[in-house]
Amino acid sequence: MTLTVTTARRPVDTTVRRPADHVIVLFGGNGDLARRKLLPGLFHLHEAGLMPEQFRIVGCSRSDLGDDGFREFARQAVDQFGRMPTTDGGWEPFAETLRYVSTAGGLGALARAAVGAMESLPSEPRLLHYLSVPPRAAPDIVAELGAVGLVDRARVIMEKPFGVDLESARRLNAAVHAVFDESQVFRIDHFLGKEAVQNILALRFANGLFEPVWNRDHVDHVQIDVPETLSVGTRGSFYEQTGAFRDMVVTHLFQVLGFVAMEPPTSLTPEPLVAEKRKVFDTTEPLDPCEVVRGQYDGYRDVPGVASDSDVETFVALRTHVDNWRWAGVPFYLRTGKRLARPGHVLTLAFHEPPRRLFELDAAVRDPNLLTFELGEPGSITASFLAKEPGATMRLGTARMTFEYEHSFCTAMQLEAYERLLHDAMIGDRTYFNTAAGIERLWEIAEPLLRHPPPAEPYAEGSWGPAAADELIRPRHWHLSGHG
């Protein structure tokens, strides 16, 4: 039984802060991320009135694309991956802001183009560099930005992974800090820009119904589960360097854990919220390799770019612990992997059963006392509980109350994750970005596993991963897959 929760609709918020004038430089401007997310996102921000009043977008890469070629690439990207096809009347004003520079000969031409774009604006604009490039290329680009003088009044957005271990993360942070102050650096994790992820904070801290029971006295365990049905596709070489743990757990899943486990901040401004999330990671115990299951789907080694004897994991499940007053004794279970039975982005809080059971339950009754967040877009929240079924006997069944974004609020102007984070970076709001110290602490937590990883166990495509993942969580079970 499902009860759908609705909310009162209201007009779109018109008080959102509009950024100052900007010149936005997209490194990797003709790459896959720019095509799928960045250019469609910037166009939607423009349509929504959330771009600066005056701005220029300078795409760059080693290709010789030219302004007209970049504009055509951008329009095809928006038509294919945007919310709706462009029209000439809506597209032309945005297209006029687009420029392109080849960086095959270094960043000298880019510096001249960026300075020219800044001088073409009537105000004193800010610079925003988006490094949509392989992580190994980032230190050299950052150093060149310093050498050509594109640092003043500038911010830089950096894509994950932020290193591959503690030592490389420290080297990367040192290289970045040699050019940019930490306040100028925005390490992006698109999970933190999701409306549904941010709703974890809203549900906890805006409602007296939930915060009093958000602790070890009431919560039995927490699951953060992000299975994927996709294979690694053409990313074999990339995956050989990262694997599921580096690609997903040490970034996305741990960031969600930080939102779940943090103490109430004094405000939702960047400093207090980031500080509370950092405290969670400071009290998260280093991973025990004995509490980690690694898996590799059958056929992974046949992917181009993958070694024939590869032990890289395409699946990982683990148990971790936050050793503080609120969460002592509560296990956090994290799971993600490729080629699994069904996709999902799910956070589940499982609450303790009552200390004394007054009702007999049928064996078929499963998973009462859950609070489940679907973190995919547009997202939902479901509370599962027991209720009496109609009839002459006290027979209980599982009931659910569900809140769904798309059926509850006006979502026409909802921002996707990259759109929200691009806007935040332009206004200088670092609330939902990672810090150097936070990244390094996560690699410290990961260090024991990286040094002594258990072997990757094979699993069938379309399954739920190795059987050892079910043993890891017993006597509990993974709620998304229904294993018991």
Structure tokens given for 133: 């490039």
pLDDT greater than 90 at residue 397: no
The structural domains of the chain, with segments of one domain joined by +, span: 22-159, 192-415+437-473
Task: Tell me which DSSP letter residue 463 carries.
Answer: B
Residue-wise pLDDT tens digits, 455-479: 999 999 999 999 999 999 999 999 9
pLDDT greater than 70 at residue 3: no
Q: What percent of the chain has pLDDT over 70?
A: 91
Q: Which fold has domain 22-159?
A: Rossmann fold (3.40.50)
Residue-wise pLDDT tens digits, 164-200: 899 999 999 999 999 999 999 999 998 888 888 888 8
Calculate mean pLDDT across residues 343-361: 79
Structure tokens given for 324: 């503080």
Which segment of 237-251, 298-312, 365-379 scores lowest on mean pLDDT?
A: 365-379
> Which residues are 380's β-sheet partners?
374, 404
CA 199 to chain centre: 14
pLDDT greater than 80 at residue 35: yes
Return the sign of the alpha-carbon dihedral for residues 439, 435, 343, 308: negative
Residue-wise pLDDT tens digits, 291-319: 999 999 999 999 999 999 999 999 999 99
Cite the active site residues.
Answer: 252
SS3 326: coil
Nearby residues of 356 by Cβ (< 8 Å), 6 or more positions away:
none
What mean pLDDT, rounded, does the chain reach? 89
Q: How far apart are CA 472 and CA 315, in angstroms?
A: 14
Structure tokens given for 66: 């030219």
pLDDT greater than 80 at residue 483: no
So what's the pLDDT on residue 480? Answer: 86
So what's the pLDDT on residue 6? Answer: 46
- Residue range 192-415+437-473 in CATH 2.120.10.70: no
Residue 364 region by backbone torsions, left for phi larger than 0, else alpha for psi between -120 and 50, else beta: alpha
